[in-house]
Amino acid sequence: MPQDPRPPRDARKVDCPACGKPALYAPSNPWRPFCSERCKTRDLGAWASEEYRIPAKPEQEEGESPPEAPPQ
């Protein structure tokens, strides 16, 4: 039986992370949580070109002792 292409009545709308427009967060939106293929591709490109970065702890220099754990 084919799936109904209409979104369910209780489907949530969220802001598109790329452009801020409302986007349907339901299986009927193949680009969720984005509003369009363009926004999804733009976000992927930003990750690929390292525009987004996850902060990391600075590496220790050789010979340095590790920081001590705070007392509990």
Q: Domain residue spans in the chain? A: 12-48
Q: How far apart are CA 21 and CA 4, in angstroms?
A: 24
Predicted confidence pLDDT, tens digits, the chain (72 residues): 555 566 567 778 999 999 999 999 998 999 999 999 999 999 999 999 989 888 888 776 666 666 676 666
Any idea of the CA torsion for 22, 27, 30, 35, to the nearest 10 degrees? 0
What is the CATH code of the structural domain delimited by 12-48? 3.30.50.10
Q: How far is CA 71 from the centre of its chain?
A: 36
| Predicted pLDDT of residue 22 | 94
**What tokens appear for 28 in the block?**
């009927």
| Predicted pLDDT of residue 56 | 83
